[in-house]
Chain A
């Protein structure tokens, strides 16, 4: 580009000075903030917990490749590497696919701009804030977590929780379980009394109409009994109807004959009493059905150790799908309509047009999105830290999170932290090379 300058002339110096003037600021910035830290980190990765220190010289704290060995032998780091692999396999492809579908679909719907704006909106939120939002949405308790509240609402169309969902028997005289209902172990004969004591009932679950519990008088030819909240402040004596203990009205009590067949059912009154009349003989059992104890929906453990990584990936896709859609949408707008029209005229179905023409023509754009996501996913950090509760931080961990945890985020081992950083850098390099090559091709 330069004509051969006359050697030693003043023009050369000036030209060099101008070129240098332009280069120096960039060179300074680059060396201060990129080159120097990179070299320092690489050197530190071969040192112990304090990293490399100028004051102490090269010999102090040198550990060779121990830090790199730890990366592959420490269980929490191995988990992080595995999780990062899952992220790489799942997230970029899913984001690109969803972006493609959205982009193609928005071309055909009427409210395209509104739809695009909504899908793109999560991009305006910082990833950390996104994490906090999704953490709250994923909370297990359906009264707090939106996702479980939704599932609970759907479930409640099919099942309703029982009136005494938290109750349990006050004595071992009642056997069974909340899923099968409780049955009084002892058989009752006609003219007998059945006392079904329940406990662990919050005061708010006791109906307002409840009165002092009372054991009814035995009647010939009938089985009488009481269902009551076998608790008074201080505990009381379990299994005994005492002053201050309330009957439980509205409970359906079932009567089983000696063969185990259900023969009658009765509902308790305000003092918890019930009566089965017209009973003959002995060997009857009384019990309360499972419906009374049916538990309300407890919520899915989205933040538990098993689902935490998929949960975070979903949140991540929610954020990035909009970006993918916009970029792919731009690529789509640039595709020549004539080719598509020609294919349709030739009788191709919409699926064939999509599969054989749109996607191949979009390939360069798709690869941009995919590679961008790949790099993004490798360094994913804030969303993991903010969604996973402390108890599943280790299950959700990825390489970038461990880079921070082992250095600044608790352990204060700067040697190991540097080694993880270098490892991450090595992972990113192939993707970067791919990107650089693509840029070159495009130029």
Chain B
């Protein structure tokens, strides 16, 4: 009996050792990728996947010896990549929506730089956009799909009913909001249940009011969130979110309205509000839930200028990063940065090209032409600031920026308190690096 127990224990122990030994052996094993086969994983699925595959097909027709395969990992991409890198078996290329991941992997030494794409970048991209993936002087991320978050979407009938034209400046915007209210339609629909809608609003105001230099400084936390420029932008933001009677559902309602609902609130036949301030992905929600037609039913105007800031764009997008460096990968990365490659995707719709060499005529409809070509010709293009923050501060539901801006929506008078909370949360996140 006792002997049996010992034997069993010994066997279990041996098994455990074998398992751990195998696991550690595996992590040190280096994998070799064939030069003519390229594996990409990324966030694009559904139609986006099909469009990207069409772009890849364009590459493969030109380079028949190279075969490129794309696998969608959707929203799980960060987890999939972290695991793959930890396991020593990353894909050749990966596309991610979080620029913080590019920094993370660069710091871990998992990335190969793509400086070889520099000339393609300079030839095709606006200066601000070509700088986006640069870390310590080397290119590690290539923005491949842009997003314009400096847009305001409005219900055409509600604007017509109030006799309001699409405003171009901040004072006009605030005045139009008053007129909309007087006409009986609330001016704003705010998806406050999703904190990122609020950070986007702040970032748009901050970029225009404080300027690109301060915006960069704040995104690297070289100035504090208690800076006067931040407080000034918060006060301006309070003119919108503090206009409680002019928000669909009031403050309490806005806090429980998620982004898709904030869009449908505006684009129904009896709208609860006249406009929603969000990025170029709004039409996707409109199309999935409403019968309003573009241009005649709903339309878009650029986020109003504060001072001389026309064509300033706060945006985002998906970056491509390289875990390996082979001639085939080099050829593919250079190809993807060209206007020709991106035109293929632009023509298929649902896409904003970061390359300025994609002609506006490539976009399939009037609205995309407005929102997408604004990125290529942007005077200043800045990446979504919250996306550049450590995740615990800028990207986690229920804490950090999301939570604090929701508190701000709850109490828009508390500018100083909010600035202080933001600073203490940011300081903590930067200190621990997460």
Contact = CB atoms under 8 A, between A and B. Distances in A.
Interface of A: 1-2, 16, 19-20, 23-24, 27-28, 31-32, 35-36, 49-50, 53-55, 76, 139-141, 166, 168, 170, 199-205, 230-235, 238, 298, 301, 303-304, 389-394, 397, 405-406, 408-413
Interface string B169-200: 00000000011011111000000111100000
A397 B398 CA distance: 9
Interface stretch (B35-43, B78-86, B133-141, B343-351): B78-86
A394 B193 CA distance: 12
Contact of B392 (A200, A204, A391, A410): A410
A16 B11 CA distance: 12
Nearest to A235: B179
A409 B79 CA distance: 9
Nearest to A385: B397
Contact of B182 (A53, A170, A406): A170
Given A19-B8, A235-B163, A411-B392, 4 more contacts: A53-B86, A203-B184, A393-B398, A394-B398
Given A28-B15, A391-B256, A20 B7 contact: yes
For the complex of A and B, list the 9 residue pairs with the smallest distance between their C-beta atoms, beginning with the closest. A233-B163, A410-B396, A234-B163, A393-B398, A202-B184, A394-B398, A389-B193, A54-B24, A391-B255
Counting chain A CB atoms within 10 Å of each CB, the highest count among B8, B249, B252 belongs to B252
B95 interface: no
B179 A27 contact: no
Interface string B101-122: 0001000000000000000000
Given A36-B20, A390-B398, A20 B8 contact: yes
B28 A55 contact: yes
10 contacts: A16-B7, A20-B11, A23-B8, A28-B15, A205-B184, A234-B162, A303-B256, A389-B255, A391-B256, A413-B392
A200 B182 contact: yes
Given A411-B434, A412-B82, A391 B192 contact: yes
A409 B397 CA distance: 8
Given A2-B1, A54-B27, A411-B434, A231 B183 contact: yes
A390 B19 contact: no
A409 B391 CA distance: 10
B211 interface: no
Nearest to B254: A391
A49 B86 contact: no
Nearest to A19: B4
Nearest to A1: B1
Contacts of A408: 79
B182 A199 contact: yes
B15 A301 contact: no
* Tier of interface size on chain B: 35 or more
A234 B179 contact: yes
B127 interface: no
Interface stretch (B298-306, B327-335, B399-407): B399-407
Contact of B434 (A141, A205, A412): A412
A363 B428 CA distance: 50
A406 B390 CA distance: 12
B416 interface: no
Nearest to A70: B432
A1 B2 CA distance: 12
Contact of A391 (B162, B185, B406, B432): B406
B258 interface: yes
B260 interface: no
A410 B256 contact: no
Interface in B186-238: 192-195
B182 to A, nearest CB: 5
A391 B256 CA distance: 7
Contacts of A1: 1
Contacts of A55: 24, 27-28, 88
Contact of A76 (B1, B78, B256, B399): B399
A390 B195 contact: yes
Nearest to B1: A2
Given A166-B184, A394-B398, A412-B82, A389 B392 contact: no
Interface in B121-164: 160-164
B270 interface: yes
A333 B308 CA distance: 80
A76 B252 contact: no
A199 to B, nearest CB: 5
Interface string B18-55: 01100110011000000000000000000000000000
B12 A54 contact: no
Contacts of A303: 256
B16 interface: yes
Contacts of B20: 36
